[in-house]
Amino acid sequence: MVNGDLTFERDALLLGHYHATRLTGTEKVMDGLLGGTMARSLAMGVYPVAPGSHQIFINTRPNLERGMFLPRPLAVIVVGLGEEGKLRPADLASSVRQAVIAWSQRLAEQNDGSAPTFNVAATLLGSGGTGVSAGEAARLIAEGVYEANTFITSEGGGRPSPRVGHLRFVELYLDRATDAWKALRLQADARPGRYDVTGFVEPGSGGLTRHPELGYRGAEYDFITVEAVKDADGAPIIAYKLDTRRARSEVRGQRAQSRLIGELIAAGSSDKNNDERIGRTLFNLLVPMEIEAYLAGSGEMQIELDPQTAAIPWELLESERESGEDLPWAVRVKLLRKLRVRRFREAVTDAGAEGGALVIGEPECPMDDFPRLFGARAEALAVRAALTGEGGLAEEAVVGLISQEATQTGPSATDVVNALFERPWRIVHIAGHGVLGKDGNPGGVVLSDGAFLGPAEIGNMRTVPNLIFVNCCHLGAADSRQLLNTRYDRATFASGLAGALIERGVRCVIAAGWAVDDEGARVFAETFYGSLLRGERFIDAVSHARRETYLHDPLQNTWAAYQCYGDPDWTFRPAPPDANRVTTPSVDEFSGIASALSLKLALERIHVQVRFQGADPGKQLDKLRHLETVHAARWGGQGDVAELFGAAFTEAGDVEAGLRWYEKAVASADGRASMRAAEQCADVRSRLAWEIVDRAKRHVDALEGREKAAASSRKARADAEQRLARDISRADELIGDSLALLEKLTAIQPTLERANLVGTVHKRRALVNIAADRQRQAEQDLRRMLASCAEAQAMAERTDAAGAFHPAANCLIAEVALNAGKGRWRSLDTARLNIIKAALGAREPDFWTVMAEIDLDLYDALATRRLAAKRLALENAYEDLHRRVPSTRMWGSVYDTACLVLPAYAGRASGRERDAATALLARVRSFAHPA
């Protein structure tokens, strides 16, 4: 059991996939490492979804990391987990078994029989959804692997397939890893001789202590399961199962008086209801007091319902509003439904980007039974206009089956069905009459000649729409004949039709549960489709539409009539990047911070997300500034909190703020900061010194390319050079302070880390002197760097041979910077090369070991003067590593090294060799200092 992330996992990796329309979390990261093959499979409808299904994605990308390291991971094995909330333990174990057997067979086809066993890695798949704990997931996965081995061993005839020899679990959070490890140990004790579990949780790179909130959830939205069951006395109760960021799998029951609730539902599920007291009463009757806070305080929520609870108008429920809140509960929490269906269509061919929208308005109906719906026609016109408006689809991509004149009848059954099968549609919007199904028939949209359009017709489409919006419950204004139609069960029609459509593969369904106001329907539709066309998620588009509809007319309940089912993360089209968008951290994300400990966990998470998980540094800085504003006054004076602020700010790229917090940590009165805080303070001072000089120097260099004749350009250049001179002066002071602090620390106790840091500070002072055109001082600093690193190397060889890797590598950097391109220098120090290669063979792969491999190639190219020939391979290697670890802090260190060795070589070389050095330096700079 390993507590870390999966960035450098080398073995085949088992992942789980709940039914969803996009890849998130670990799946998304692995898809990036495999070049997008997983996302393409999902888009084509062949991704594993149902329990028992699986798919193997071989890592076929070029081995850009050379040498002893295979492409990481070797393969990704995705296991289908089905619908969230419905995964059975037996299904998880059997799904893993089948996936492992398939991978064993694949290996048997590829090898020569010399490898009887293989290793496999696994996440705690299944535990990101509701109902499966981390410990249970680990136990079931281990059982599935054991069953696979048993089957493989008993396989008769021919050459036997290899078995799993070692199963490696990787989990980001230490508390979950510990729970899983304990469950595995119990499993091993209960089944003697079956498992050999390691004696501890191994620390990996990028591990976190625990999730900042009390719960853990893989998706961004909360998931609530509601079902009608009976208690011990046979009385009906409503049972709740929570999977939120604040609570996990807590089941609470609320006794329900079905007759009383039925009367309230009947009163609430009507367009005539504008009494908020009914919503409050239903909330109090249906929701247990102990879980009210979880439901009322959620940011995004999907509520899974069974047929017995789907008829409840959850959108109308109203909790107690906080002071200043004006919006209803279903709008505040971004509520979506999910219907528990008996089955679902696994292999669905979705319409691609070429799919358009079909808008059907008031189709022709038997006039004797169904009166005209002029509002339905008007709604269809508004939807077509919204879809083809500014930023929308092309005119030819939206087909409207709407009568030309209001006095004319709408499209016939033949017109509707022909249009439905004419071409692929991503969106189908229907406004008209509907009929309630009987005897298991879900009903459908009323058409001419006694026909209707229902789930069966949708299911026969070769390409299934992503979204179907059915508004078939509108009452015609002042039409007494329809007002007397009391047999029409609108809420049941909505949930029944939605469930049938979802079973047939429709991702998202919106159906009106009762009659809607004409103007409210227009506002809802226009806002909803406008949000979709901007690339927003389904859950956000629904929330915006409800909000705008409510604000348009709070006295109407049209905003609550729409029962919205589907994937919260589905989007109609990818959102275009907006460089001008200001990111505001979610208040809910940090709402659980109530102590210094929870603040430290949040800071630790931000630090790891930037360093190891590819989080956007700009967005993380926004979060850090938010935490600083809200919590610094209360807990920022604690040394350990200030130290984490310093680490997080520095990692995210605001080195100035990082230094300020490190200095605060070192000076804290409580003494809670570690000795490492003082070491990092010295390191960050020298880093800031080089960073401000490098930034100023790059600005001066950029101005050299401008027209020098213009007075404004000459002044700009003069101002930039003055700024560079001031920054060099400040850098000299910062580096002096850095060395002075390290001397004090070394006087207390010389350590390998402090000797390494002294060498790093000399390295940065050499960089500052090169920028200041003080070449003689720069060479002196490089020689001091070499001496300090050699001392650190000797210290490591006396105490810890593995620790010699870092100082030996820095010695090579100084050696190359001093000699690259000189006539008599053609080879690297052999002893140091051997130390580095031996260390690489013994260490687990991480950013620095992979970068060391690339650096050895680079130094060899410089020594043999073949940089131009190796430039492309080096650039590809840099690109591949950056995809795995985009941390600007770590690439800043790589850039520092490049600034020493590449300009030195370029100054002594010529032609293609000089050009190659300049181009490589620019590429590394783009990773360390993105625009």
In 3D space, the residue among 755, 701, 695 whose CA is nearest the CA of residue 730 turns out to be 695
In 3D space, the residue among 655, 656, 653, 605 whose CA is nearest the CA of residue 627 turns out to be 605
With a CB cutoff of 8 Å and minimum separation 6, the contacts of 746 are: 754, 755, 758
User: Stretch 427-450: mean pLDDT, rounded?
Assistant: 76
Nearest-angstrom CA–CA distance, 394 and 396 = 5
Supply φ then ψ for residue 233, to 5 degrees: -90, 0
Does residue 251 carry a pLDDT above 90?
Answer: no
With a CB cutoff of 8 Å and minimum separation 6, the contacts of 768 are: 689, 690, 693, 728, 731, 732, 735
**Is the separation of the CB atoms in 43 and 151 below 8 Å?**
no
From residue 701, how far is each of 556, 695, 712, 917 by CA, in Å? Answer: 64, 10, 16, 17
pLDDT of residue 729: 95
Nearest-angstrom CA–CA distance, 346 and 332 = 33
Q: 57 - beta bridge partners?
A: 76
User: Stretch 515-537: mean pLDDT, rounded?
Assistant: 88
pLDDT of residue 632: 93
User: Stretch 557-584: mean pLDDT, rounded?
Assistant: 66
Q: Give the Cα-Cα-Cα angle 858, 864, 868 (nearest 5 degrees).
A: 60
Report the percent of the chain where pLDDT is more than 70: 81
Helix (H, G, I), strand (E, B) or coil at 232: coil
**Is the separation of the CB atoms in 207 and 7 below 8 Å?**
no
* DSSP state for residue 160 in the 8-state scheme: P
User: Stretch 334-353: mean pLDDT, rounded?
Assistant: 68
Categorize the per-residue pLDDT at 441 as very low, low, confident or very high, splitting at 50, 70 and 90.
low
Supply φ then ψ for residue 900, to 5 degrees: -85, -50
**b/e for 354-379, b at 16 or more Cβ within 10 A?**
ebbbbbbbbbbbeeeebbbbbbbbbb
Does residue 143 carry a pLDDT above 80?
Answer: yes
pLDDT tens for each residue of 577-594: 333 333 344 545 676 677
pLDDT of residue 352: 61
pLDDT tens for each residue of 793-806: 888 888 766 678 88
> Encoding tokens for residue 120?
């496999």
In 3D space, the residue among 674, 692, 586, 684 whose CA is nearest the CA of residue 630 turns out to be 586
Categorize the per-residue pLDDT at 330 as very low, low, confident or very high, splitting at 50, 70 and 90.
confident
User: Stretch 487-505: mean pLDDT, rounded?
Assistant: 61
In 3D space, the residue among 282, 224, 226 whose CA is nearest the CA of residue 253 turns out to be 226
In the chain, the amino acid numbered 739 is L
pLDDT tens for each residue of 168-193: 999 988 888 999 999 999 888 888 88
pLDDT of residue 303: 85
Q: Which residue has the higher pLDDT, 571 or 687?
A: 687
pLDDT of residue 725: 93
Does residue 606 carry a pLDDT above 80?
Answer: yes
Is residue 48 reached through a cis peptide bond, with omega within 30 degrees of 0 on the bond before it? no
Kindly report which listed range (549-558, 703-712, 912-921) carries the lowest average pLDDT score. 703-712
In 3D space, the residue among 492, 544, 548, 488 whose CA is nearest the CA of residue 520 turns out to be 548
Give the distance between the most distant pair of CA atoms in the chain. 102
pLDDT of residue 210: 77
pLDDT of residue 684: 95
Q: Which H, E and C letters describe 540-568, residue by residue? A: HHHHHHHHHHHHHCCCCCHHHHEEEEECC
Q: What is the pTM of this model?
A: 0.62
pLDDT of residue 487: 41
In the chain, the amino acid numbered 646 is G
**Is the separation of the CB atoms in 70 and 108 below 8 Å?**
no
Categorize the per-residue pLDDT at 229 as very low, low, confident or very high, splitting at 50, 70 and 90.
confident
User: Stretch 527-553: mean pLDDT, rounded?
Assistant: 91
Please, what is the average pLDDT of the chain?
81
pLDDT of residue 212: 63
Categorize the per-residue pLDDT at 680 as very low, low, confident or very high, splitting at 50, 70 and 90.
very high
Residue 289: Cβ-neighbour burial (10 angstroms; 0-12, 13-18, 19+): exposed
Does residue 246 carry a pLDDT above 80?
Answer: no
Categorize the per-residue pLDDT at 245 as very low, low, confident or very high, splitting at 50, 70 and 90.
low
Categorize the per-residue pLDDT at 469 as very low, low, confident or very high, splitting at 50, 70 and 90.
very high
pLDDT tens for each residue of 870-897: 999 999 889 888 887 787 778 888 998 9
pLDDT of residue 161: 84
User: Stretch 156-177: mean pLDDT, rounded?
Assistant: 85
Kindly report which listed range (93-102, 300-309, 452-461) carries the lowest average pLDDT score. 452-461
User: Stretch 117-141: mean pLDDT, rounded?
Assistant: 86
> Encoding tokens for residue 352?
């691609």
Nearest-angstrom CA–CA distance, 212 and 262 = 41
Categorize the per-residue pLDDT at 476 as very low, low, confident or very high, splitting at 50, 70 and 90.
very low
Does residue 332 carry a pLDDT above 90?
Answer: no
> Encoding tokens for residue 673?
């900061």
In 3D space, the residue among 563, 585, 559, 569 whose CA is nearest the CA of residue 327 turns out to be 559
From residue 69, how far is each of 76, 123, 508, 844 by CA, in Å? Answer: 17, 21, 44, 10
Report the percent of the chain where pLDDT is more than 90: 31
Categorize the per-residue pLDDT at 274 as very low, low, confident or very high, splitting at 50, 70 and 90.
low
In 3D space, the residue among 293, 299, 306, 283 whose CA is nearest the CA of residue 335 turns out to be 299
Helix (H, G, I), strand (E, B) or coil at 563: strand
Other C-beta atoms closer than 10 Å to the C-beta of 751 total 16
